[in-house]
Structure 1
Amino acid sequence: MKKLALVLIIVGAINWLLIGLFQFDLVATLFGGGSQEGAFARVIYTIVGIAGLYSITFLFNSNEK
């Protein structure tokens, strides 16, 4: 579960990098027809957001490796 959350966070970070540098939203282009209003793109954004919230628990995990 942690690896999946990390992958989703990386996808979100790359998407934000593209938005910041080039004003290009890769997720919306691939899954929503080029706009953030696409239904499937919104699902992807939601899943990435949940993964980000889940990853907050990594900060408080006492089992460091």
Structure 2
Amino acid sequence: MKSLNIATLILVILGGLNWGLFALANIDIVATLFGGTDTVLAKLTYIVIGLSAVYQLLPFSQAISVGEITAENMNY
């Protein structure tokens, strides 16, 4: 599960950077790479990034409830 946690965290970070670029320079990297926001690949990318954010709620809530160091050592 650690690899899933790292993969989803990377996707959330990339999604955040994409939103930052969109806000600052009106550049949507996902739309640029996949030919627009309405393409199937772009929509799938947005969905995977969104699901990654939802998944990241698990380690976040564990870090809040038991502490960050203890949560890092847990297998979820």
TM-score of the aligned structures, taking structure 2 as reference length: 0.76
* CA RMSD of superposed structures (Å): 1.1
Bigger proportion of residues as helix: 2
**Greater than 3 Å deviation, 4+ residue runs:** none
Asked if 1:16 is matched to 2:10, the reply is no
Match for 1:45: what amino acid?
Answer: Y
Count residues with an aligned counterpart. 63
**Equivalent residue runs for 1:37-52 within 5 Å:** 37-52=38-53
* Structure 2: tracts of 5 or more residues without a match: none
Q: Which has the larger radius of gyration?
A: 2
1:27: which partner in 2? 30
CA distance in 1, matches of 2:20, 2:26: 9
Structure 1 unaligned regions, length at least 5: none
Map 1:53-64 to 2 at 5 A: 53-61=54-62, 62=66, 63-64=70-71
